[in-house]
Structure 1
Amino acid sequence: MYKKISKELLNFIEKSHSCFHAIEEIKEELNKNGFIELLESKSWNLIKGKKYYVTRNASSIIAFDIGENLDNYSFNMVASHSDSPTFKIKDNFEIEVSSKYIQLNTEKYGGMLCSTWFDRPLSVAGRVVIKENNKLVTKFVDVDRDLVLIPNVAIHMNRDANSGMKYNEQIDMLPLYGTSDNGKGNFLDVVSETINVKKEDIVSSDLFLYNRMQPSIWGSKEEFISSPKLDDLQCAFTSLKAFVEGHSKKSINVYCCFDNEEVGSGTKQGALSTFLVDVLSRVNEGLNKTKEDYYKALASSFMLSSDNAHAVHPNHPEKSDPTNRVYMNEGVVIKYNANQKYTSDAVSAALFKTYCKNADIPFQAYTNRSDMPGGSTLGNIATTHVSIKMVDIGLAQLAMHSSYETAGMKDTYYMYKVVKEFFNSHIEETGNGVLEIS
C-alpha cells in the first residue's frame, strides 16, 4: 500500500510541471469524482449533499463537499500550496552571448537551493495568453522535452567552487537555450508550436523552468522517494485523495490549494487573499444560512495547514532541535513555533493527535532550533481572514527547496489516512473549551 500511493503521487507530480498544471490535475480528479465546477463571476446554486469547486487565477483551487445534515455544521478544511521555487522567464526573454549563444533571461521565484539547478536537463511550463478575435484566451504550455540547461563553471576556471559559492542570479543562473542565428533565437516559435498557435497571437506569458529528472523510488528497502516539487505537492496530493474519498454528513469538507506560498502568499490567489473567506461566505449564503450560522460554524471549524517539514539530515543532525526531531517514514509531523509562525497550540495539536490515533498512524513533533529561525507557511497567513482553530502539519523531507527533494515512502500513506479520518468526522464546540468529535 505504501508503494502504490507513492507511485500515484509521483505520477501526479510528473504531470504538474507548473502550478497551473497542478491545478489542472486536481480539477481532473475532482471531475472524475462528481464535483461541479463553479465560476466566481457567476451565481452559485448550491444543494446539500453535492460537491463543488472553484478556481482563481488558474493556479489556486478551493473544493467543498456539502453534508446532508447541517443543523450544527462546521467546516473541515485542509490547505496546501501549488507552487515551488523555480525560475520565471522574463519578458524579452532572449540574451545573445558573444554572437554565438542564446540564453533565456530569468529571475528567481521563491528561495531555492540554486546549486541543485546546474548541469541537468530542464524545460519550460506555464501559461500564455493569446488573442482569439476579440477575446483573450489562456492556454497552458509544457514543452515536454529537454530544452535548456544551466552550465556550471569548470573547476579549472573557478578554483574556489568547492569552498562555498554565492550565486548571482543575473549571471550564474541563466539557462543556455541554443545557438545564435543572426542575434536571435526561436524560443517563441517553440512555445507557439507546442500549443499550436501563431506566435503573433501570443500577448503575454507566465513561464517557468522545471527539472526534467524523473522521480525515483530508492534505498536499501525502497524506503525513500525523490522528485521535484515534493514541497508541497506531496501534501496537495495526499489531502486531495483523502478529500475525494472522505465525507461528513454534518460538516462541509473544504480542500484548498493556494498559489504563491513561496513568495509570501500576498496575491489575489494566495492564502493571504480573500479567496477562502469569499468562498466560505458564498457557500453559507448559497445554503440560505444566516450570518449568525456562519459565525457559529467557524467557532467549531478546524483547518489542517499542510506543508512539509525538515527531516534530520544524516550529515548534519546538529541542524535540528535537540529533542523535537523528525525523521522520514516515522509519521505525520506536527509543527510548533512559540512566535506563531506555525499555528499549532495545545488544543489544535490535541485534536490532530486524536485523528492520528483514531487512524492508527504515527505522528512526530517538530520545532526549529531556538537559534535558527524557520519560515512560515499557510496557516498563520490564512487565519488573518478566517479565524478558526488550526494546526500546522507536514511530512518529513530532506533538501527542501532543492530542484530534487527526498521524502519517506510510508509517509505519503500516513498523511492520506489521517486526513481521510478527519474528512469523515464532525467537530462541534459545545462551550467551556469542550470539543466533541463524531
Structure 2
Amino acid sequence: MFKKISQEMTGFLKECPTAFHAVERIGKELESNGYERLKENEQWELKTGGKYYVTRNDSSIIAFGIGSELMDYSFNIAASHSDFPTFKVKENAEIEVKKKYLQLNTEGYGGMLCATWFDRPLSVAGRVIVKEGDHFTTKLINIDRDLVMIPSMAIHMNRAVNDGYAYNKQIDMLPLFGGEGSKKGDFKKLIAEAAGVSEEAVYGSDIYLYNREEASVWGAQEEFISCQHLDDLQCAYASLKGFLQGHQEKSVNVYACFDNEEVGSGTKQGAGSTFLYDILRRINMGLGKSEEDYYRAVAGSFMLSADNAHAVHPNHPEKTDVENCVYMNEGIVVKSHAGQKYTSDAVSIALFRDICEKAEVPVQFFANRSDEAGGSTLGNISSAKVSLKAVDIGLPQLAMHSAYETAGVKDTCYMIKAMKQFFSTHFYESNGSIFSA
C-alpha cells in the first residue's frame, strides 16, 4: 500500500512541472469530486453542503466544503505551497556564444542547491499570455521532451571545484539550448508552437526550467522514493487526498495551496496576501452570517501548515538537534521554534497529537539546533493575516531544494490518514476548554 500511494503521488508530481500546472491539476481533481469553480470577480451563490474552489494568478488555489450544520461553525484549514526552487527564463531569453551555441538566459527562483542542476535532462514549462482579438487568454505549456542541460565545467578547467566553489547564476548556471544550427528567435518560436499560436500573439510569459528525471523507489527494502518537487507538492498532494476523503458537518473544510513560499510569500497570491482572508470572509457572507459570526468562527478554527521537514542526514547527523530530530518513514513531523518561525505551541501540538492518535499515525518532533538559523514557512505568515490556532507540520526528507529530493515511501500515506482525520473533526471551545469531536 505504501509503495502504491508513493507512486501515485509521484505520478501527480510529474504532471506538475510548475505551480501553474499544479493548480490546474488540483482543480481537475476537485472538479472530478464535485467541486464547483468560482471566480473572485463574480458574485458567489453559496449553500450549506456546497463544494467550491477558487484560484488566484493561476498559481494558488483554495477549495472549501461547507457543512450542513453550521450553528456555531469553525474553519478547518490545511495549507501547503505549489512552488519550488528552480530557474526562470528571462524575457529576452537567448544568448549566443561565439555563433556556435545558444543558451537560455535564466535567473534563480528560490534557494536551490545549484550543484544538483548540472548534467541532468531539463525542459521548460509555464504559462503564456496570448492576445486573441481584443482580449487576453492564458495557455499552459510544457515542452515534454529533453530540451536543455546545464553542463558542468570539466575538473581539468576548475581543479579546485571539489574544494568548494561559489556558483554564479549568470555564468555557471545558464542552460545550453542549441548548437551551430540554432539561431536567436528559435526559443520564442518553440514556445509559440507549444501554445498553438503565432509568435506575434504571445504578449507575456512565465517560463521555468524543470528536471525531467523519472521518480525512483530505491533502498535495501525499497523504503525511499526520490523525485523532483517533493518540497512541497508531497504535502500538497497528501493534504488534497485527505481533504477529499474527510467530512465534517459542523465545519467549513478549507484546502489552501499558495504560490511563492520559496521567495517569501509576499505576493498577491502568496500566504502573506489577503487571499485566505478574502475567501474566509466571502464564505461567511455567502452563508448569510454576521461579522460577529466570522470572528467567532475564526477564533475556534485550526490550521495545519504542511511543509516538508529536514530528516537526519546520514553523513551529517550533527547538523540536527540531538533529540528533536526526525527520520524518514517514522511519521509526520511537528515543527517548533522559540522565535515563532513555526506556529506550533502547546495547544496546537496537543490538538494535532490527538488527531494523529485517532488516525493511528506516528508523530515526530523537530527543532533546529539552537546555534543554527532555520527556515520559516506558511504558518506564521498566513496566521498574521488570519489569526487562528495553527501547527506547523511536514514530512521528513533529504536534500531539500535539490533538483532531485528524497523521502520515505510510508510518509505520504501517514499524512493522508492524518488529514482525513483532521477534516473529519469539529473543533470548538466551551468553558475554557478546547474540544475535538
Query: Is the structural similarity TM-score above 0.5?
Result: yes
2:365 is matched with: 365
SS in 1 for 2:330: coil
2:435 is matched with: 436
1:216 Cα deviation (Å)?
A: 1.0
1:133 Cα deviation (Å)?
A: 0.4
1:221 aligns with 2:216: no
Letter in 1 for 2:93: F
1:200 Cα deviation (Å)?
A: 1.3
Distance 1:182 1:323, change over 3 A: closer
> Is the 1:94–1:102 Cα contact (8 Å) retained in structure 2?
yes
The separation in 1 between residues aligned to 2:353 and 2:66, in whole angstroms, is 25
TM score, norm. by length of structure 1: 0.99
Letter in 1 for 2:165: M
The separation in 2 between residues aligned to 1:217 and 1:413, in whole angstroms, is 15
> Is the 1:178–1:185 Cα contact (8 Å) retained in structure 2?
no
1:290 is matched with: 290
1:417 Cα deviation (Å)?
A: 0.2
1:261 is matched with: 261
Specify every segment of 5 or more residues in structure 2 that has no aligned partner in the other structure, as ranges. Answer: none
Q: Deviations over 1:41-81 (max 9, x none)?
A: 00000000010000000000000000000011000000000
1:181 Cα deviation (Å)?
A: 4.9
Q: Deviations over 1:262-293 (max 9, x none)?
A: 00000000000000000000000000000111
The separation in 2 between residues aligned to 1:363 and 1:383, in whole angstroms, is 23
Moved more, 422-431 or 141-150: 422-431
How do 1:235-274 residues align onto structure 2 when only pairs under 5 Å count?
235-274=235-274
1:202 is matched with: 202
The separation in 2 between residues aligned to 1:73 and 1:205, in whole angstroms, is 42
Letter in 2 for 1:214: E
The separation in 2 between residues aligned to 1:238 and 1:317, in whole angstroms, is 28
The separation in 2 between residues aligned to 1:402 and 1:139, in whole angstroms, is 28
2:347 is matched with: 347
1:5 Cα deviation (Å)?
A: 1.1
The separation in 2 between residues aligned to 1:31 and 1:158, in whole angstroms, is 53
Q: How many residues align?
A: 437
The separation in 1 between residues aligned to 2:92 and 2:269, in whole angstroms, is 26
Letter in 2 for 1:145: R
TM score, norm. by length of structure 2: 0.99
> Is the 2:101–2:182 Cα contact (8 Å) retained in structure 1?
no
Distance 1:6 1:409, change over 3 A: same
1:431 Cα deviation (Å)?
A: 3.9
How do 1:33-432 residues align onto structure 2 when only pairs under 5 Å count?
33-181=33-181, 184-432=184-432
Letter in 2 for 1:34: G
1:161 Cα deviation (Å)?
A: 1.2
SS in 2 for 1:413: helix
Q: Deviations over 1:223-263 (max 9, x none)?
A: 11101000000000000001011110000000000000000
SS in 1 for 2:279: helix
Q: Deviations over 1:187-233 (max 9, x none)?
A: 11111112211111101100000001001111111111101000000
Letter in 1 for 2:55: T
SS in 2 for 1:280: helix
> Is the 1:308–1:397 Cα contact (8 Å) retained in structure 2?
yes
SS in 2 for 1:95: strand
Letter in 2 for 1:437: S
SS in 2 for 1:156: helix
> Is the 2:83–2:259 Cα contact (8 Å) retained in structure 1?
yes
The separation in 1 between residues aligned to 2:271 and 2:90, in whole angstroms, is 25
1:132 Cα deviation (Å)?
A: 0.3
1:182 Cα deviation (Å)?
A: 7.9
CA RMSD, 1 decimal? 0.8
SS in 2 for 1:236: helix
SS in 1 for 2:5: helix
Specify every segment of 5 or more residues in structure 1 that has no aligned partner in the other structure, as ranges. Answer: none
The separation in 2 between residues aligned to 1:408 and 1:431, in whole angstroms, is 42
Distance 1:414 1:182, change over 3 A: closer
1:299 Cα deviation (Å)?
A: 1.0
SS in 1 for 2:157: coil
The separation in 2 between residues aligned to 1:101 and 1:389, in whole angstroms, is 55
SS in 1 for 2:28: helix
The separation in 1 between residues aligned to 2:183 and 2:251, in whole angstroms, is 61
Large movers: runs of 4+ above 4 Å: 180-183
The separation in 2 between residues aligned to 1:184 and 1:405, in whole angstroms, is 34
> Is the 2:102–2:182 Cα contact (8 Å) retained in structure 1?
no
The separation in 2 between residues aligned to 1:4 and 1:248, in whole angstroms, is 28
How do 1:8-23 residues align onto structure 2 when only pairs under 5 Å count?
8-23=8-23
The separation in 2 between residues aligned to 1:178 and 1:140, in whole angstroms, is 23
> Is the 2:128–2:195 Cα contact (8 Å) retained in structure 1?
no
> Is the 2:74–2:252 Cα contact (8 Å) retained in structure 1?
yes
SS in 2 for 1:436: strand
SS in 2 for 1:232: helix
The separation in 1 between residues aligned to 2:59 and 2:180, in whole angstroms, is 34
> Is the 1:259–1:270 Cα contact (8 Å) retained in structure 2?
yes
The separation in 2 between residues aligned to 1:39 and 1:183, in whole angstroms, is 42
1:183 Cα deviation (Å)?
A: 5.1
